[in-house]
Amino acid sequence: DAGVTQSPTHLIKTRGQQVTLRCSPKSGHDTVSWYQQALGQGPQFIFQYYEEEERQRGNFPDRFSGHQFPNYSSELNVNALLLGDSALYLCASSLSLYADTQYFGPGTRLTVL
Amino acid sequence: AQTVTQSQPEMSVQEAETVTLSCTYDTSESDYYLFWYKQPPSRQMILVIRQEAYKQQNATENRFSVNFQKAAKSFSLKISDSQLGDAAMYFCAYRSPQENQFYFGTGTSLTVIP
């Protein structure tokens, strides 16, 4: 049973560029959440997708957008990258929208130069 | 918004000994969930243990147990018989059913000394 997978593992971009990160949820899960984890910090909630719609959003600017596909996989897009966007981006999936437990993927390390 | 505080940035424990990691949270909700996640250098966040606020009994998972004090809004993690593989960052997390969001603390880095 595959867990949550994310790609790519690492990514290096320059300021102003755009980036797309990908996530496949754990088998049987239909809800995906994205988190940003800056160095030395805990994960910060970006948004959550269910039934291909954004259901909840944290305190992140519109430069952060996402998408969920019919197979429940998800993408996180960040436009106009800033140096401060450098972080580990974690994807988490759950059994349903209101499930109380999330399972995390290994993350994508984004470096913005 | 809810807040989660981990006041111990770093902790260390001798192998085979017991260590307790602290977590406090602030909320006005009466029903919620609390979690401890482990993040080793491989970066993958691994669920260690979960506690439902309406349950008075403290959760246990093998060598891991919690001390949940709802009135004090405290949720500490006890690791017994510490092993080298327990070395990692440990994050305390709160799930708000009303907001359907997770809130994380800043983490405690645990070192296990052989």
Q: How many angstroms separate the CA atoms of B4 and B23, rounded? A: 7
| Predicted local distance difference test score (pLDDT) of residue A33 | 96
Greatest Cα-to-Cα distance within chain A, rounded to the nearest angstrom: 38
| Residue-wise pLDDT tens digits, A7-64 | 999 999 999 999 999 999 999 999 999 999 999 899 999 999 999 999 999 999 999 9
Are B2 and B105 a contacting pair, CB within 8 Å?
A: no
pLDDT tens-digit profile of B15-59? 999 999 999 999 999 889 999 999 998 788 999 999 999 988 999
Name the residue type at position A104: F
Q: What is the pLDDT, as a whole number, of residue B43?
A: 81
Which secondary-structure segment (H or E) carries B64? strand B64-69
Residues 15-44 of B with CB under 8 A from A: 33, 35, 37, 42-44
CB contact under 8 A, B35 and A101: yes
Q: A92 vs B45: CB contact, 8 Å cut-off?
A: yes
Q: What's the confidence (pLDDT) of residue A23? A: 98
Can you tell me the distance from the alpha carbon of A84 to that of A90, in angstroms, rounded to the nearest whole number? 16
Contact A100 B106 (CB under 8 A): no
Interatomic CA distance for residues A67 and A61, integer angstroms: 16
Peptide bond into A43 cis (omega under 30): no
